[in-house]
Amino acid sequence: MPGPPLDVEVSEVTKDSAVVTWKTPESDGGSPITGYVVERSLAASARWLRVNKQPVTELKLKVEELVEDNEYIFRVVAENKVGPGQPSEPTKPVMARDPWRMYTHSLFALVRTQLQTLDHRLCTE
């Protein structure tokens, strides 16, 4: 059986999708890798769900049908004619949210902090 895929990363995260990429395992288990399966889980859960019905041969998959404001982790399993190998290490958690919304949230937090600092200075003078 193949070893676990390496360097699994998540990018291009939106409110309902994300792109998962990975590198081939160090070992193919003595038989060529025939495909990869991507799994997802809510960050607070131990239940893994298969994302793609059929194994993919590319080292990349766009995962769709995410639910906005849920935090997800992903892992990848390599398969060969012997069967599936061990899963990769899970990714760091990512929040399904449009990038502009994350920026807006950060901006509001920064403004709030600045206003609190200003208010504190005015009250102590």
pLDDT the model gives residue 123: 63
38, 50, 65, 75 from 54: Cα distances, Å: 10, 10, 17, 16
pTM for this prediction: 0.79
15 close to 97: Cβ distance less than 8 angstroms? yes
Rounded-to-integer distance, Cα 87 and Cα 55, Å: 14
**Strand, helix or coil for residue 79:** strand
pLDDT digits (tens, 9 = 90+) for 61-110: 999 999 999 999 999 999 999 999 999 999 999 999 987 655 555 666 66
**Structural tokens at position 54:** 């059929």
Confidence band for 124, pLDDT divided at 50, 70 and 90: low
Q: What percent of the chain has pLDDT over 90?
A: 75
Task: For residue 4, give the nearest of 24, 21, 19 by alpha carbon.
Answer: 24
